[in-house]
Structure 1
């Protein structure tokens, strides 16, 4: 019989709807039930593409004995971290403070007042490697609650007080200057892996936001070192197993330093960010590899993550059926030499093995290899390789596919909208721009209410119950602003403004300028979460700074510009010390130092050939954070177009900073030089 999760919109919660555990969703009623029964709350946080979440579910949450003990002695609450990032952030901070590490599944025991007192992540079903079994943990917590209640509540109170003392405020600090950005670049150089690309050791995550900073820094200063780190990292990732060499798109991270073996889940946010990174790398260098990867990643998102409603699903699982009924990580993606021969025949299988680095020993598990493009001297027949890829992709499509988390997350869709809009514009792919518009339409139509407050998620056309957090407002605004520049439709600028008004009114501390992850009127947790550092995607704090800055450049709004600059005080403080973890903030700081430039393109019509040429040139400009408006001289959709006439009856482009403009030009080549448009 299904439990209370059967009505959830989260695919992760629905995966647990048939557990014998009497799960509750996060709700006031769950904690009221714990008070009524005088028992602790067991909080389990995970997400649908999490491998160890599935393992613990199969081992413990589907086990009747474990479930019976949980049901008797606890109120069990299940949370999808992607649906409730605020809940996840607050308790993950407590877990990391208490244990020195974190991860998912996250297992936390709370008082009925939601105060945490015991922490962990994955617990095995039997004692293993010095870890107690999950049932032993439950028994120990129950005993402590029953016999040492005063001690438990004292620990919980101390943890909450410690968390409350961690509030951040960098609002008095100034925008980072040349010195801080140079120190950040030096710090990145120290942590850079010159042999393999990327930063630090294993596991290696795609440093998307850092690469955006490096590309912007190169565009503004000409730093060849910054460009080299960005180029080499992008090439190593694109040639590695972390990139799907057959279907496009990136896996979550590499378990090794060489980008060979990925953790196979594919997340929307990673692919949106990396699609944009490779498109921007192409914009700066003209790299054919960057062009191919940007387009293949965009096509992957549209083909495999697009939902019937026009949004983009959150993730594809790492695990899938290996053909024997057993779920195994990477089963959908890896190949043995025998499997290559079965699909391709002997000669083409040998060629494919050399091209993709498939060996008899294997680079993964059980003699299987992850496809990659190892550096080698052999020159391959491009037509034959293309035929091999098509046949392997068709054969792979016959395998049991990984599960898909169909939840549409506002923030990640905002990132996808920006990536698809720009990639479509750069490479003359109107279908990609149309996909971006459809996703933006869904956010406005379904996720946004009449007051322009935005919901965090939807699924199957049904909006979720949870309020959007700062990253939802900021990333959706970022997507809308990119769409406005690409399409010339000012309505997207208006929608961005509505969202950013909420950022100013409900997420910003009016005295310090500090930002919070949740709105002032959101559900009160044990602490109001606040984190300016990047994780897998830009933090809400720095994403908001970027969107506020772009909106101010479009409109001349002083409050938005001031809010962006105050928010960047945190980058001045953290950028020189931990540049890997505040890459997007550094990228936004580059835009502030460059202006950012405001480009107005005016012509008799948007489809006029000369107007389109100037518009495309403006979009291809690599000046950091430049904003582009396009329209007719009579248009009132963009403030940047106001008072911008044609020049001698010809379409013209005006390049301005802080609404002070250079002489207009009708020549695309001159505009290209004015905007530092790389190889184009």
Structure 2
């Protein structure tokens, strides 16, 4: 027996298609059904690789008695937060306002007008630790709906009014300048974990956007403390359990502040952002560790997340089957000393246990350990050949284990991040195969996500576009990916596609005073129009769009796009000094604004010495146009009237289309760009 979710494209919704719960997808019909039956809506929001979503599903949604009660008293609606980030954002804001915390699965009870009145996240099957059971919650809400309807309506109305009052009426503050960025750096220094790297305590998330800001700030100002925080944080993550020491790629976050034990799900967006961060760290320092991690993470994305259509899947699950056939978190990744001996023999197992921190007591559950490089900060053993051999044998043995499930949904925004990372990493390290993979993913976005319509769709699966409209982060991140690809490949079509997307941002996502909204002005109307300028696990749509608008303006000289970027960055001036950890991408874009950004026109061949030197320049947010011949200027405005000097490839470094003297010397170009 299956329910309505059997027709869904989302892997998360399909996971619930055989529940006895009579699930609906988010739709007007679901709320009309609640109105017809005069019952509340149970909204359950999660995603495919969410561990506690699986737990609650097994404990409650697969329980026939719970399902019978739920079906009789509610209209149950299931939402994949990755398909509908707008729905997730609106109700998560309500959950956090009401309870002081949030998370997934998110459980919200709504009126038939979609107004929330009771909130929570995970509820257990039996009451424990002061938390009511899910059945008790259902019975309590049903009783309140029946016996205290006026009170429910009053609560719902008050919450909706409160949410409506939170909208940012304008892009607060003036443009961020030197004082604001200096204050942001000072605040980050105070929050920095000097012993373990990163910011704050447990759980500890990869600070990708903040590191990008620190690298750009150092490049522009020479502030050594900024570079040190970035480099030490990257080293700590790369040596920790959050990084897959065998197969490359990063887990979602560390449950401890030392980066030892991760939450094992692997997300495309984390790996795309971190791949680019480590590539940029190598560009700044020449670090061998940064180079290795950037390439291994790129190879992980291509090997394990690339879909048959050329895009990149959303995530790998945290859970998989262990040796006893139990579906548990981390089973694919953890090791015991006995398992090492079984694969490697006594001598190599002892070596590997010391090198990777595998102990009899274990660092994870049931005596198992997460592989990491220990002791942190000391020189690694010099026997590189032995290390490589051990890694290869362990990886081959691990491939025989039951694999975590993969969420094959292709999300536009996250693919945009991956395109930028793979294009630049491929260009830096002479890996044309990575540039080719980035190009294939971009082709998929144009062919399927843009298709024949005038808008960008949020998701696709198996080469088929989903029904959900793109949100601001999709437009901003895909434009960012296209702009990076244009600079690397010299193909002006990617600049044109980026401009098409950014024109939609100007027309449909931008308010009268420069503020940005997460949904288009003609998108489905929720109880409020979501609008959030702060980063979460990915750059905020607000600042992602600002960065792409600024880069596009640098490429084309468009005053409209630059003015929109500047209008959007006002919020960074207001929030950056107070909460820099949560607006890191906005601070990085502000660094580019203060630096110009610089515009580099290379009249010469793609992948030539001057082109590569331009790409390796550290000037924050610099854009690169490359091409030669009479048609080059028709694709890249920066190349108009940029002739070869003496018949040799020539580079022009400009700000606002005002250029320094041209150079044919790669060393001189590198000096101009901080390379």
Into which bin does the TM-score normalised by the smaller protein fall?
A: over 0.9
Query: Shift of residue 421 of structure 1?
Result: 0.2
Aligned partners of 1:21 and 1:68 also within 8 Å: yes
Residue in structure 1 matched with residue 637 of structure 2 by the alignment:
639
1:232 corresponds to which residue? 232
Deviation at residue 175 of structure 1 after TM alignment: 1.4
Equivalent residue in structure 2 for 1:650, among 648, 651, 656: 648
Q: Which residue of 2 aligns with 1:35?
A: 35
Where 2:516 maps in the other structure, the secondary structure is coil
Pair 1:487 & 2:489 matched:
yes
Aligned match of 1:500 in 482, 485, 502? 502
Q: CA deviation at 1:259?
A: 0.3
Task: Give distance in 2, aligned partners of 1:531 and 1:203.
Answer: 23
1:115-154 equivalences in 2 (<5 Å): 115-154=115-154
* Offset at residue 167 of structure 1 (A): 0.7
Which whole-Å CA distance do the structure 2 matches of 1:347 and 1:377 have between them? 21
**Partner in structure 2 of residue 454 of structure 1:** 456
In structure 1, the partner of 2:430 is 428
Q: Does the CA-based 8 Å contact 2:602-2:625 persist in structure 1?
A: yes
Please report how far the alpha carbon of residue 462 of structure 1 lies from its aligned counterpart in structure 2 after TM superposition. 1.2
Instruction: Provide the residue aligned with 1:478 in structure 2.
Output: 480
1:390 aligned to which of 366, 389, 392: 392
8 Å contact from structure 2 (residues 12, 47) kept in 1: yes
Deviation at 1:123, TM superposition (A): 0.4
Match of 1:404 in 2: 406
Aligned mates of 1:352, 1:380 — CA distance in 2: 14
Deviations 1:626-660 (A, max 9, x none): 00000014111100000000101111000000110
Q: Which runs of 4+ in 1 moved over 4 A?
A: none
Residues 176-325 of structure 1: matches in 2 within 5 Å? Answer: 176-325=176-325
Aligned counterpart, 1:626: 622
- In structure 1, the partner of 2:593 is 592
Cα 1:377/1:539, change in 2 over 3 Å: closer
Quote the Cα distance in structure 1 between the aligned partners of 2:167 and 2:490: 41
Q: CA deviation at 1:325?
A: 1.6
Length-normalised TM-score, structure 1: 0.98
| Structure 1: stretches of 5+ with no match in the other structure | none
Partner Cα distance (1:132, 1:220) in 2: 53
Work out the CA distance in 2 between the residues paired with 1:522 and 1:606: 40
Cα distance in 1 for residues equivalent to 2:498 and 2:379: 50
Name the residue aligned to 1:569: 570
2:174–2:574 contact (8 Å) kept in structure 1: no
Q: Give how far 1:451 is off.
A: 4.3
The verdict on how the C-alpha distance between 1:170 and 1:570 changes in structure 2, with shifts beyond 3 A counting, is farther
Over residues 176-232 of structure 1, what are the superposed CA-to-partner deviations in whole Å (9 max), with x where a residue is unaligned?
A: 000000000000000000010000000000000000000000000000000000000
Greater displacement, 81-90 / 369-378: 369-378
SS at structure 1 position matched to 2:635: coil
How large is the Cα RMSD of the aligned pairs?
0.8
Offset at residue 377 of structure 1 (A)? 5.4
The unaligned stretches of length 5 or more in structure 2 are none
Q: Shift in Å at residue 173 of structure 1?
A: 2.7
Q: Distance in 2 between matches of 1:175 and 1:446?
A: 37
SS at match of 1:591: helix
Distance 2:503 2:2 in 1: 42
Partner of 1:675: 673
Deviates more, 1:291-300 or 1:453-462: 453-462
The alignment partner of 1:413 has SS state of helix
Instruction: Give the C-alpha shift of residue 165 in structure 1.
Output: 0.4
* Residues 377 and 86 (structure 1), Cα distance of their counterparts in 2 relative to 1, 3 Å cut: closer
Task: Tell me the CA shift for residue 378 of structure 1.
Answer: 6.4
- Map of 2:657 onto structure 1: 659
Q: Distance in 2 between matches of 1:170 and 1:245?
A: 46
CA distance in 1, matches of 2:453, 2:31: 30
**Hey, what does 1:83 align to over in structure 2?**
83
Task: Give the whole-Å Cα distance in 1 for the aligned partners of 2:33 and 2:171.
Answer: 41
Q: Contact 2:172–2:571 at 8 Å: present in 1 too?
A: no
CA contact (8 A) 1:332 1:402 kept: yes
Q: 1:450, 1:176 → 2: CA distance?
A: 39
Q: Distance in 2 between matches of 1:670 and 1:180?
A: 32
Superposed counterparts of 1:481-560, under 5 Å: 481-509=483-511, 511-560=512-561
CA distance in 1, matches of 2:62, 2:324: 21
Structure 1 distance, partners of 2:505, 2:640, is: 27
Q: Deviations over 1:228-274 (max 9, x none)?
A: 00000000000000000000000000000100000000000000000
Partner of 1:381: 383
Contact 1:358–1:369 (Cα < 8 Å) also in 2: yes
Tell me the number of residue pairs that the alignment of Structure 1 and Structure 2 aligns.
671
Q: What displacement does 1:172 show? A: 5.7
Could you list the per-position Cα deviations for residues 272-297 of structure 1 after superposition, in whole angstroms to 9, with x for gaps in the alignment?
00000000000000000000000000
